[in-house]
Amino acid sequence: MFVRDKILKILKEADGYVSGERISGMLGISRAAVWKHIKALRADGYEILSVTNKGYRLCSEPENILSDRLSAALCTDHIGRNIVYMNKVDSTNEEAKRRADMPDGTLFIAEQQESGKGRLGRLWESPRGGGIWMSLLLRPDIPLGRVSEITLAAGLAVCRAVGCGAMIKWPNDIVIGSRKICGILTEMSAEPDTGTINYVVCGMGINVNIESFPDDLKAKATSLLIETGERHSRDEIAARVLNEFEPVYELLCAEGFGAIREEYARMCVTLGREVRVIYRKNETIGKAADIDENGTLLVDTENGRIPVSSGEVSVRGMYGYA
Ligand code: BT5
pLDDT 10s digits, 125-156:
999 889 999 999 999 999 998 999 999 999 99
286 band by pLDDT with thresholds 50, 70 and 90: very high
Task: For residue 268, give the nearest of 154, 119, 167, 137 by alpha carbon.
Answer: 167
Q: Which ligand 1 atom sits nearest the alpha carbon of residue 183?
A: 3
Where on the phi/psi map is residue 73: left (φ > 0), alpha (ψ -120 to 50), or beta?
alpha
CA of 125 to the centre of ligand 1 (A): 7
Instruction: Tell me if 125 CB under 6 Å of ligand 1.
Output: yes
181 band by pLDDT with thresholds 50, 70 and 90: very high
Instruction: Tell me if 117 CB under 6 Å of ligand 1.
Output: yes
Mutate to test the pocket of ligand 1, among 108, 117, 124, 170 (most ligand atoms within 8 A of CB): 124
Task: For residue 249, give the nearest of 71, 66, 78 by alpha carbon.
Answer: 78
Q: Render the burial of 29-45: b for 16+ CB within 10 Å, e for the rest.
A: beeebbeebbebbeebe
Mean pLDDT of all residues in 180-194: 92
Instruction: Tell me if 172 CB under 6 Å of ligand 1.
Output: yes
- Of all protein residues, whose CA lies closest to atom 7 belonging to ligand 1? 205
CA of 107 to the centre of ligand 1 (A): 18
pLDDT at 139: 97
45 band by pLDDT with thresholds 50, 70 and 90: confident
Residues 6 or more apart in contact with residue 36 via CB below 8 angstroms: none
Whether the per-residue pLDDT at 30 is higher than 70: the answer is: yes
Summarised one tens digit per residue, pLDDT across range 108-127 is 999 999 999 999 889 999 99
pLDDT at 320: 65
CA of 136 to the centre of ligand 1 (A): 16
pTM, 2 dp = 0.82
Task: For residue 9, give the nearest of 147, 145, 128 by alpha carbon.
Answer: 128
- Better-predicted residue by pLDDT, 283 or 168: 168
- Of all protein residues, whose CA lies closest to atom 16 belonging to ligand 1? 203
